[in-house]
Amino acid sequence: MINLFNAPDEYVQGFFKSGQAMLKAFSGLGSAAKPPTQETARELARVAGTYWEKQAALWTRSLAAGSGNGLEPVVDAERGDRRFHGEQWSKHPWFNLLKQNYLLNSQLLDGMVEAAAMDPREKHKLRFFSRQFADAMSPANFASTNPDAIFGALESKGETMQVGLSNLMEDMRRGRISITDETAFEVGTNVAASKGSVIFENELMQVIQYAPLTDKVASRPLLIVPPCINKFYILDLQPENSFVRFACEQGMTVFLVSWRNPDASQAHVTWDDYVEDGVMKALDVAHKVSRADQVNTLGWCVGGTLLSSALALLRARGDESVASLTLLTTMLDFEEPGDLGVFIDEANVLQREMTIGKGGIYRGAELGFVFQTLRANDLIWPYVVNNYLKGKTPAAFDLLYWNADATNLPGPMYAWYLRNMYLENNLREPGRLSVCGEPVDLGQIDVPTYVLATQEDHIVPWRSAYRTTGLTSGPTEFVLGASGHIAGVINPASKNKRSYWAGGTQGADADEWLAGAQSMPGSWWTHWAKWLKPQAGKSVPAPKKLGNAAFKPIEPAPGRYVKVRAD
């Protein structure tokens, strides 16, 4: 609700465009629609017939329930849908009828969208925004139609309403929905608390070297490049779920890039700057401090895209200082970008280029809202209901604290990224894209590569991540983790939860790989550590001091940059 006041232009325009597309699709007008066919007409008739048949059954059973009989459901919420878990949604005839009527209407809308004869990309947009509309219209989201909110207000003599209104006013003041107790965490104290030092900084980033946790370490260090659209400490939340700590425990010397949260002084920073002054400089620091022959590298999401761009550039320059590449939920081929693709077309990208492409800042709050809409029933509406209708306070959750810690992006970098990756998909084509003045070819990346995708990823669909295996030329290990973009990556080995798939025969088809892959219980972290060991070099004594004479410690980890909050 409050986020909708700050929705980015792409979201608002998407609603209007999708509504127009639906009208065109069912009237046979406009370029988005294909000429209506008998098959489309028959499918629409089937959808409508099923809907009215179930409506008749619903009202018949509702009248029977009014006579004292139980109301047998005509339709149930999907598994995992937590909106209607309250007892009154099933026990009270009126609210049960309201719930089932909503679910039937949602099914009707879904059926109409699927029946529409449209271009697949346009249908994807229509499917996304129609689902956004249906989710927003749930009776659970309104005080007058949510029995838990109504009975809670009666039992508390209005106190829940008063607290809920206070929560709403506070969130309006801050411009975002509260999704966790932000007072429970402090960066550098109980999140991002791994010991280390900042040993280099420039206007774009800091390089952190973490303290060793073993007496012996691998001679080749690990450089981690996190996404610049989020704070790095998703990889270092708390000791029990810190990937940084896990890597150190495996005997690795870990270096990590901490991106600066851009302000007006960085309004002209470009993609090339992120590659040259960010990734390339961090590689140089890790190489010189460790004095190793090569450096192992790991990138997550857009950090992986930046890292791959840098490695392709290094190969074009004849540099062989990198020993291996690990990509976590990263896209290099943007042919099928998933739900994020609904926000991107020529008009929207051109608008960004004209407004902030020559200089400006893309606010982290806008980007955060876009990501929340991909899972609105997990990251938007439950907090509207609990915070405002029920007067509750969100629980403390480190991952959601990180999620709410927004990061800005420089306008030129962001606009270039949208056009060359999402819109034109230039990186996958050898020599089509120039980075730092040099045509790059991902096929020149011939180092061992570990590619992790996650099965339920809404940001980087796993089949899109799989395409990386056909772009680089070195030996590739593809692994599919359970869960989504964040939870699938942050799956601590010590908790032994979830599962992953590995060992399939790699070819052009992702589903064929999955059919031959083996399901493994637990975390992919241990699988990755075993994969990395042959690339890690010999065992040497752990360094007694961090940095060296040229790169002296500047301040303790996590450093200043990560603590800067976006406006």
Q: What is the DSSP string of 17-84?
A: HHHHHHHHHHHT-STTBPPP-HHHHHHHHHHHHHHHHHHHHHHHHHHHHHTT-----SS-PPTT--TT
Whether residues 418 and 502 share a domain: the answer is yes
Is residue 316 within 8 A of residue 440, CB to CB? The reply is yes
Is residue 361 within 8 A of residue 263, CB to CB? The reply is yes
Considering the domain boundaries, does residue 382 fall inside one? Answer: no
pLDDT for residue 74: 92
Give the active site residue among 228, 248, 301, 436. Answer: 301
pLDDT for residue 62: 84
Considering the domain boundaries, does residue 216 fall inside one? Answer: yes
Whether residues 201 and 128 share a domain: the answer is no
pLDDT for residue 468: 98
Active site residue 301: yes
Q: Please report the DSSP string for 422-487 in residue order.
A: IIT--TTSTTTSEETTEE--GGG--S-EEEEEETT-SSS-HHHHHGGGGT--S-EEEEEESS-TTT
Considering the domain boundaries, does residue 149 fall inside one? Answer: no
pTM score > 0.75 for this model?
yes
Q: Which residues contact 173 (CB under 8 A, 6 or more apart)?
A: none
Residue 157: its H or E element:
none
Q: Residue 562: how many CA atoms within 13 Å on its side-chain side?
A: 30
Whether residues 106 and 216 share a domain: the answer is no
Whether residues 126 and 29 share a domain: the answer is yes
Three-class SS of 376-405: HHHHCHHHHHHHHHCCCCCCCCHHHHHHHC
pLDDT for residue 533: 97
For residue 475, give the CATH number of its domain. 3.40.50.1820
The model's pLDDT over 207-237, given as tens digits with 9 standing for 90+, comes to 999 999 999 999 999 999 999 999 999 999 9
Scored b (16 or more CB within 10 A) or e, 373-395 reads bbebeebbbbbbbbbbbbbbebe
pLDDT for residue 121: 87
Whether residues 214 and 133 share a domain: the answer is no
- Decide: residue 78, CB within 10 A, 0-12 exposed, 13-18 middle, 19+ buried: exposed
Considering the domain boundaries, does residue 158 fall inside one? Answer: no
Whether residues 239 and 95 share a domain: the answer is no
Whether residues 225 and 82 share a domain: the answer is no
Whether residues 134 and 242 share a domain: the answer is no
Considering the domain boundaries, does residue 287 fall inside one? Answer: yes
pLDDT for residue 40: 83
Is residue 379 within 8 A of residue 327, CB to CB? The reply is no
The model's pLDDT over 58-101, given as tens digits with 9 standing for 90+, comes to 998 888 876 545 567 899 999 889 999 999 998 888 999 999 99
Residues of the chain with pLDDT under 70: 1-36, 66-71, 567
The model's pLDDT over 22-65, given as tens digits with 9 standing for 90+, comes to 555 554 434 444 556 788 888 889 999 999 999 999 998 888 87
Whether residues 237 and 131 share a domain: the answer is no
Structurally, the chain folds into a number of domains equal to 2
Structure tokens, 99: 């719930």
Considering the domain boundaries, does residue 487 fall inside one? Answer: yes
Last residue of a domain, one of 99, 119, 142: 142
Considering the domain boundaries, does residue 10 fall inside one? Answer: no
pLDDT for residue 7: 58
pLDDT for residue 494: 86
pLDDT for residue 28: 46
* Rounded distance between C-alpha atoms, residue 135 and residue 379, angstroms: 12
Considering the domain boundaries, does residue 272 fall inside one? Answer: yes
Whether residues 224 and 104 share a domain: the answer is no
Residue-range definition of the domain harbouring residue 513: 196-361+406-549
* Rounded distance between C-alpha atoms, residue 180 and residue 347, angstroms: 36
